């Protein structure tokens, strides 16, 4: 929908941007594009700025488009680009087309249009600021469309064209008086919007000219055809619903409905009459005429006199104005030809030489010929009139036959739909039966496999014990291996320490060998040097041999010593080399031993790790197997619990069905048997609660839960049957309470058993409510046990006289208080307030006097009833014998006295300015209802020909008239006060008025919400009041008497 910013836009292209190029060019896309193009052209031709009526062919194309695409997406995509906020004529024609789509388009048009409801409301408020031209018309029409959408959203059973049969209308209200009450109010609101548009269109036309033949007038009148179609159905449905409500609710309660219907009846009748006189509507639609007087809803037989108004739209192929004229012209020519032929036969040919000489042609005189001509003319005129009457009757018969054909087609479609529904329901029930059979077979299979599962569970437990022993052995072996692993690790540590010591000794030996080697090398070098020196000295000595012969011996001895010393050093070197070699061998042996130890340790670790992993794998497999077995065992236990709970639930549901079965009415029972059954069921419920607690702590305790569950369902079922049987022989009030408690106990039992079947709700399931209901049933059983009379006969009779006297006293006190308030009002009030207070208090005084007359007439009739019915017994014995009737009189007397006191208090508050007029109206109507109750209780046992009964009925009518007078005076006073307190807008600015308007809208929405809630609350209170009143006053027993 366009925004205010697009107000100045004009209608641009006949083909807006809704048509987009699509890649591909497939057959479906081309067909869709062609469909959208055709729809766009039709929508733009139907909704344009020209002030002419929408052409039917364009509107029909739009309607067919919604059925083609099963929605209104294309329509809204085109409309969203139209400047509806900038052109009033464009918006008016949009409303007309949209109204047609809602009535005759696809059912999804409403769903696709709901999202634009707020935008329609905004546009309605915007056009409402314009007081001339199409502004107000568009505003009211948009409000009507929004109301229509809201009505169909709240009542989806109603189609867009509002065509429904009586059966569908009953199904729409679900046979609930509260739903019918609310539906009637919504239809009144809907019809009110239709009538507002009707009146606004007529007020905008200059009826002094023939506006229906001008294009501008037809543009405004065209949408009224849809309004007429809607109004005819809404009027018919409101009449039927009001008759239905009057058959269920008191007439005073529906006074507001009747007033509103009468107002709308007068408006609709006047508008239908004015529309039927317009030339434009005569060729397009046949408007029905409403009856001269509105239906009398207070007389139930008046429903058979009601005729549903049928609007007939003639076929478009023929013109209703041209066909009769053509036929008449042709008939005139034929009649003239017949007349001429007959004239020639009688008087001769017209080609005679003397055409006026009649005497010479046939010998007849002129008077006879004139008489014959007049006679023929008279016959021709009579034939014409007869022919016209015949044509008119034929046209009416054709119209009625077409309407009847439409109704029969609608009924045929409805029967076909019902047949399809029945077939679908039959298929569904058949599938459900098959499913139930499968479930039963599965249950039997589960029960058969339960024994096998328990046997397997025992075998699994034995296997689990063996696996547990094996696991203990594996744990012990694992501990031994861990200890061996610790010892090997310790040996490795010691070996590593010994290896370190060997390495240190080896290093020390290597250092010593290195030192010895160095010393040997130094010595060898020194010896080599010495040898060289000796050689040089030897050479020198040889040279000086002869010189040194004396020293030769000493030098030889020194060389021997040196050789000896060198040999000893070589021996020492060999010894050290052998020791080093031995150390190397020992080191290699130690290294080999160390490597062997390392290999052994590695092998042991690998084997230990492998064995440990294998043991861990076996342990995990054992744990998973154990968990699976435990889970399966828990599932089997839960399945067993669910199966038992399901069987118990079926048992309780069968019992509830037997309680509702009419064949069970003949069964009776005693209160003592009911108490014994209730006690047993309560004790079983306590044991079931303990077993359930144990099951929640340990799932293996399901074996103790199942027997208690089955016994609990059996005992509760017996209790419900015994309670229902006991209620058949008990008084009405405790019987109803007992039966209701039995039903509630059964429902709570079913809920508890259903919770046991849900794994997520097993822990939260509680049967305490069932125990509580059993306790209440036991309490009622104690009340129903045989005991002596609680009230003595003389006390019951005295109580009737006391209550009637107290009622009369309360009325006298109320009258005195009203007189006192009237005196105070005359002394302290002036002007309008004094006039209002005097009128209200005067009507209240009249009502009190009428009630006083009614109470006196009731006393006389009561005395007559006692005298005629007691026989030889005393009046007190008569009252005790008819205790239900006596209690009804007492209750009605209390209600009248209480109502008079409350009404006086309400009137006092109204006079003081602290109360509301509505409270006073409600109190007066409540008094009328209480007096009606007193009349009904008094006339139950009265003779229909009794004079006192006639006086009582006349007094009752006087009370009703006085009540109407109080209501009328209260309404008049409220109107005067409201006129006095009317607002002055002369000094307010535009901003202040807008602020007040917004506050008023907020207040209206709040009051509508409160009204909705209060109506729902009122419906519940009335329903409960009817139940309690029927039980308290023994209507069923009185009817039986």
pLDDT digits (tens, 9 = 90+) for 462-475: 776 776 777 677 76
Q: What is the DSSP letter of 5?
A: G
**What b-and-e string marks burial along 535-547, b requiring 16 or more CB atoms within 10 Å of the CB?**
eeeeeebeeeeee
Q: What is the DSSP letter of 721?
A: H
Determine the length of the chain. Answer: 1041
Q: What are phi and psi of 286, to 5 degrees?
A: -105, 110
Q: Which of 20-34, 148-162, 277-291, 831-845 has the highest mean pLDDT?
A: 148-162
- Six token digits for residue 611: 């064995």
In angstroms, the CA 79 to CA 97 distance is: 11
3 state SS for 336-376: HHHHHHHHHHHHCCCCCCCCCCHHHHHCCCHHHHHHHHHHH
Q: Is 312 helix (H, G, I), strand (E, B) or coil?
A: strand
In angstroms, the CA 1006 to CA 86 distance is: 33
CB count within 10 Å of CB 900 equals: 28
CB count within 10 Å of CB 840 equals: 25
Residue 1025 is predicted with a pLDDT of: 67
What average pLDDT does this structure show over 749-766? 83
Q: Would you say 97 and 222 are in contact if contact means Cβ atoms under 8 Å apart?
A: no
- Six token digits for residue 677: 């059954």
Q: Would you say 685 and 693 are in contact if contact means Cβ atoms under 8 Å apart?
A: no
**What b-and-e string marks burial along 504-529, b requiring 16 or more CB atoms within 10 Å of the CB?**
eebeebeeebeebeeebeeeeeebee
Whether the per-residue pLDDT at 763 is higher than 70: the answer is yes
Nearest to 778 by CA among 731, 751, 752, 745: 745
Distances in Å between the Cα of 446 and the Cα atoms of 439, 602, 757 are: 10, 56, 16
Q: What are phi and psi of 352, to 5 degrees?
A: -65, 160
Q: Would you say 669 and 726 are in contact if contact means Cβ atoms under 8 Å apart?
A: yes
Whether the per-residue pLDDT at 274 is higher than 60: the answer is yes
In angstroms, the CA 262 to CA 926 distance is: 24
Q: How many C-alpha atoms does 493 have within 13 Å on its Cβ side?
A: 6
Low-confidence winner among 265-279, 424-438, 581-595, 1001-1015 (lowest mean pLDDT): 581-595
What average pLDDT does this structure show over 40-69? 90
- Six token digits for residue 389: 């009457």
Task: Give every CB contact of residue 443 below 8 A, 6+ residues apart in sequence.
Answer: 643, 646
In angstroms, the CA 1011 to CA 22 distance is: 53
Task: Give every CB contact of residue 657 below 8 A, 6+ residues apart in sequence.
Answer: none
Distances in Å between the Cα of 225 and the Cα atoms of 99, 100, 102, 781 are: 11, 10, 14, 67
CB count within 10 Å of CB 1026 equals: 14
Q: Would you say 117 and 149 are in contact if contact means Cβ atoms under 8 Å apart?
A: yes
Q: Which residue has the tokens 């409510």?
A: 769
What average pLDDT does this structure show over 972-992? 64
Q: Which of 469-483, 509-523, 708-722 has the highest mean pLDDT?
A: 708-722
Whether the per-residue pLDDT at 113 is higher than 70: the answer is yes
Distances in Å between the Cα of 949 and the Cα atoms of 583, 790, 853, 938 are: 147, 33, 13, 9
For residues 627 and 3, which has the higher predicted lDDT (pLDDT)?
627
Q: Is 286 helix (H, G, I), strand (E, B) or coil?
A: strand
Q: At what angle do helices 990-1033 and 177-203 cross, to 10 degrees?
A: 150
Q: Which residue has the tokens 């409303």?
A: 95
In angstroms, the CA 956 to CA 931 distance is: 7
- Six token digits for residue 999: 């506050």
In angstroms, the CA 98 to CA 109 distance is: 9
Nearest to 937 by CA among 796, 800, 783, 789: 800
Q: How confident is the model at residue 559 (pLDDT cuts 50, 70, 90)?
A: low
Whether the per-residue pLDDT at 1010 is higher than 80: the answer is yes
Chain-wide mean pLDDT for the chain?
75
For residues 450 and 13, which has the higher predicted lDDT (pLDDT)?
450
Whether the per-residue pLDDT at 460 is higher than 80: the answer is no
Q: How many C-alpha atoms does 195 have within 13 Å on its Cβ side?
A: 21
Q: Exposure of 12 by Cβ count < 10 A (0-12 exposed, 13-18 middle, 19+ buried)?
A: exposed
3 state SS for 563-592: HHHHHHHHHHHHHHHHHHHHHHHHHHHHHH
Distances in Å between the Cα of 586 and the Cα atoms of 504, 505, 722 are: 13, 11, 106
Q: Would you say 523 and 567 are in contact if contact means Cβ atoms under 8 Å apart?
A: no
Note the pLDDT tens digit of each residue in 902-931: 777 777 777 666 667 777 777 777 777 777
Q: What are phi and psi of 716, to 5 degrees?
A: -65, -40
In angstroms, the CA 513 to CA 507 distance is: 10
Note the pLDDT tens digit of each residue in 385-427: 888 888 888 888 888 888 778 778 877 877 777 778 777 777 7
In angstroms, the CA 888 to CA 933 distance is: 9
Q: How many C-alpha atoms does 661 have within 13 Å on its Cβ side?
A: 13
Q: Would you say 959 and 850 are in contact if contact means Cβ atoms under 8 Å apart?
A: yes
Q: Tell me the sheet residues that pair with 286.
A: 312
Q: Would you say 644 and 709 are in contact if contact means Cβ atoms under 8 Å apart?
A: yes
Nearest to 440 by CA among 658, 633, 636, 650: 650
Residue 811 is predicted with a pLDDT of: 75
Percent of the chain past pLDDT 90, that is, above it, reads 6
Return the ∠ at Cα 642 (arms to 639 and 648), rounded to 5°: 145
Task: Give every CB contact of residue 115 below 8 A, 6+ residues apart in sequence.
Answer: none
Q: Exposure of 342 by Cβ count < 10 A (0-12 exposed, 13-18 middle, 19+ buried)?
A: middle
In angstroms, the CA 991 to CA 997 distance is: 10
Return the ∠ at Cα 684 (arms to 679 and 688), rounded to 5°: 150
- Six token digits for residue 908: 């006092």
Whether the per-residue pLDDT at 95 is higher than 90: the answer is yes
Q: How many C-alpha atoms does 114 have within 13 Å on its Cβ side?
A: 9
In angstroms, the CA 97 to CA 58 distance is: 9
Give how far the C-alpha of residue 517 lies from the chain's centroid of Cα atoms, to the nearest Å.
111
Low-confidence winner among 180-189, 442-451, 718-727, 874-883 (lowest mean pLDDT): 874-883
Q: What is the DSSP code string of 636-656?
A: HHHHHHHHHHHHHHHHHHHHH
Q: Tell me the sheet residues that pair with 312.
A: 286
Residue 138 is predicted with a pLDDT of: 92
Low-confidence winner among 562-566, 637-641, 652-656, 985-989 (lowest mean pLDDT): 985-989
Residue 147 is predicted with a pLDDT of: 92
Q: How confident is the model at residue 9 (pLDDT cuts 50, 70, 90)?
A: very low
Q: What are phi and psi of 788, to 5 degrees?
A: -70, 170
Q: What is the CA radius of gyration of the chain?
A: 57
Whether the per-residue pLDDT at 568 is higher than 60: the answer is yes
Q: Would you say 478 and 615 are in contact if contact means Cβ atoms under 8 Å apart?
A: yes
Q: What are phi and psi of 357, to 5 degrees?
A: -90, 75
């Amino acid at each position: 929908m366009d925004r205010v910013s697009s107000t100045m836009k004009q209608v641009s292209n006949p083909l807006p941007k809704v048509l987009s190029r699509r890649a591909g060019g497939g057959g479906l896309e081309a067909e869709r594009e062609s469909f959208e193009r055709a729809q766009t052209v039709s929508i733009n031709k139907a909704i344009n700025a020209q002030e002419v009526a929408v052409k039917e062919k364009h509107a029909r194309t739009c309607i067919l488009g919604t059925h083609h695409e099963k929605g209104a997406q294309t329509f809204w995509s085109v409309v969203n680009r139209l400047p509806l906020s900038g052109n009033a004529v464009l918006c008016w024609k949009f409303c007309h087309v949209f109204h047609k789509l809602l009535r005759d388009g696809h059912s999804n048009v409403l769903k696709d249009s709901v999202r634009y409801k707020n935008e329609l409301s905004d546009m309605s408020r915007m056009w409402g600021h314009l007081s001339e031209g199409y502004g107000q018309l568009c505003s009211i029409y948009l409000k009507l469309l929004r109301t229509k959408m809201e009505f169909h959203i709240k009542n989806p059973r109603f189609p867009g064209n509002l065509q429904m049969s009586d059966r569908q209308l009953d199904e729409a209200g679900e046979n609930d008086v509260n739903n019918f009450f609310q539906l009637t109010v919504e239809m009144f609101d809907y019809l009110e919007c239709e009538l507002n548009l009707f009146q606004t269109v007529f007020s905008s036309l200059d009826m002094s000219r023939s506006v229906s033949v001008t294009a501008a007038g037809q543009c405004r009148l065209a949408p009224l055809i849809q309004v007429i179609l809607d109004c005819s159905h809404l009027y018919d449905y409101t009449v039927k619903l009001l008759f239905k409500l009057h058959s269920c609710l008191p007439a005073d309660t529906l006074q507001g409905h009747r007033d509103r219907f009468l107002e709308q009846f007068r408006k609709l009748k006047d508008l239908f009459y004015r529309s039927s006189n317009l030339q434009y509507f005569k060729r397009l639609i046949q408007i029905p005429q409403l009856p001269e007087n509105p239906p009398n809803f207070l007389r139930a037989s008046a429903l058979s006199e009601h005729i549903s108004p049928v609007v007939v739209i003639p076929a478009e192929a023929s013109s209703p104005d041209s066909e009769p004229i053509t036929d008449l012209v042709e008939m005139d020519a034929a009649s003239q030809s017949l007349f001429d032929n007959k004239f020639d036969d009688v008087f001769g040919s017209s080609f005679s030489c003397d055409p006026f000489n009649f005497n010479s042609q046939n010998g007849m005189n002129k008077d006879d010929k004139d008489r014959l001509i007049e006679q023929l003319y008279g016959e021709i005129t009579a034939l014409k009139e007869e022919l016209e009457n015949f044509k008119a009757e034929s046209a009416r018969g054709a119209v009625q036959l077409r309407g009847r054909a439409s109704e029969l087609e609608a009924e045929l479609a409805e029967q076909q739909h019902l047949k399809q529904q029945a077939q679908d329901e039959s298929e569904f029930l058949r599938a459900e039966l098959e499913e139930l059979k499968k479930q039963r077979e599965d249950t039997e299979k589960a029960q058969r496999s339960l024994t096998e599962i328990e046997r397997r569970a025992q075998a699994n437990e034995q296997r689990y014990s063996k696996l547990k022993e094996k696991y203990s052995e594996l744990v012990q072996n694992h501990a031994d291996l861990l200890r061996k692993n610790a010892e090997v690790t310790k040996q490795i540590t010691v070996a590593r320490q010994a290896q370190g010591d060997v390495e240190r000794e080896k290093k020390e030996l290597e250092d010593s060998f290195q030192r010895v080697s160095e010393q040997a090398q130094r010595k060898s070098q020194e010896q080599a040097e010495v040898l060289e020196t000796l050689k040089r000295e030897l050479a020198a000595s040889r040279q000086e041999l002869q010189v040194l012969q004396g020293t030769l011996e000493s030098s030889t001895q020194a060389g021997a010593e040196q050789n000896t010393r060198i040999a000893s050093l070589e021996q020492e070197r060999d010894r050290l080399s052998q020791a080093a070699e031995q150390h190397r061998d020992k080191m290699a042996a130690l290294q080999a031993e160390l490597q062997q130890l390392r290999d052994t340790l590695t092998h042991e670790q690998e084997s230990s790790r492998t064995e440990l992993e294998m043991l861990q794998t076996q342990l995990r497999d054992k744990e998973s197997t154990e968990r699976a077995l435990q889970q399966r065992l828990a599932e089997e236990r839960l399945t067993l619990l669910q199966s038992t709970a399901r069987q118990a639930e079926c048992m309780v549901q069968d019992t509830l069905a037997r309680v509702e079965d009419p064949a069970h009415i003949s069964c009776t029972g005693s209160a003592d048997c009911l108490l014994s059954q209730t006690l047993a069921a309560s004790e079983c419920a306590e044991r079931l609660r303990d077993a359930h607690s144990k099951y929640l702590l340990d799932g293996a305790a399901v074996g103790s839960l199942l027997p208690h569950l089955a016994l609990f369902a059996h005992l509760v079922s017996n209790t419900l049957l015994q309670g229902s049987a006991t209620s058949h022989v008990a008084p009405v009030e405790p019987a109803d309470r007992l039966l209701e408690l039995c039903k509630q106990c059964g429902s709570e039992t079913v809920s508890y058993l259903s919770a046991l079947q849900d794994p997520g709700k097993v822990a939260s399931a509680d049967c305490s409510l069932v125990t509580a209901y059993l306790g209440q049933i036991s309490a009622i059983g104690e009340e129903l046990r045989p005991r002596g009379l609680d009230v003595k006969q003389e006390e019951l009779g005295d109580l009737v006289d006391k209550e009637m006297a107290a009622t009369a006293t309360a009325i006298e006190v109320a009258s005195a208080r009203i007189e006192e308030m009237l005196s105070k009002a005359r002394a302290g009030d002036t002007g309008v307030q004094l006039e209002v207070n005097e009128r209200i208090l005067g009507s209240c005084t009249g009502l009190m006097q009428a009630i006083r007359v009614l109470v006196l007439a009731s006393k006389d009739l009561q005395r007559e009833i006692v005298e005629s019915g007691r026989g030889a017994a005393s009046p007190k014995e008569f009252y005790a014998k008819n205790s239900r009737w006596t209690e009804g009189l007492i209750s009605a007397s209390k209600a009248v006295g209480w109502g008079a006191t409350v009404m006086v208090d309400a009137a006092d508050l109204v006079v003081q300015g602290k109360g509301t007029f509505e409270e006073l109206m409600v109190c007066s109507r409540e008094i009328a209802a209480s007096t009606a109750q007193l009349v009904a209780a008094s006339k139950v046992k009265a003779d229909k020909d009794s004079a006192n009964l006639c006086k009582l009925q006349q007094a009752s009518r006087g009370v009703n008239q006085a009540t109407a007078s109080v209501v009328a005076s209260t309404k008049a006073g409220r109107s005067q006060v409201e006129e006095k307190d009317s607002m002055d807008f002369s000094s307010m600015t535009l901003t202040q008025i807008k602020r007040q308007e917004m506050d008023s809208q907020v207040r209206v929405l709040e009051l509508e919400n409160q009204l909705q809630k209060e109506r729902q609350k009122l419906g519940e209170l009335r329903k409960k009041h009817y139940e309690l009143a029927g039980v308290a006053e023994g209507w069923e027993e009185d009817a039986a008497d």
